[in-house]
Amino acid sequence: MTEDQVKQIVIEIINEIAPDEDTKGLKDELALREQMDLDSMDFLDIVMELRKQHGIEVPEADYPELASLKSCADYLTPKFNAK
């Protein structure tokens, strides 16, 4: 799986949990929470959906790795490819 595919998965999950958010113009390097109105519960929902939909476990200590689309892709791509 490519980093772009992983980014698309993260965007799809965000669209599911926060359907009112506009995800079309997200910038790779900026923190997601700076670009959208996501609170800590939304963030936990993203982590839970990664586990539920894709079997990807993200330990709490690694949550900062999911701050931006780029960091999500960097962190999650090896996990998707190890499945």
Q: What is the CATH number of the domain that holds 44?
A: 1.10.1200.10
Rounded Cα distance between 58 and 76, Å, is: 9
Q: Does the pLDDT at position 83 exceed 90? A: no
Note down the domain range covering 44: 3-81
Residues near 9 by beta carbon (within 8 Å), at least 6 away in sequence: 50, 54, 76
pLDDT tens track for 26-77? 999 999 999 999 999 999 999 999 999 999 999 999 999 999 999 999 999 9
Residues near 23 by beta carbon (within 8 Å), at least 6 away in sequence: 11, 14, 15, 36
Give the number of domains in the chain: 1
Q: What is the pTM of this model?
A: 0.94
pLDDT score for 37 = 92
Mean pLDDT of 10-39: 94
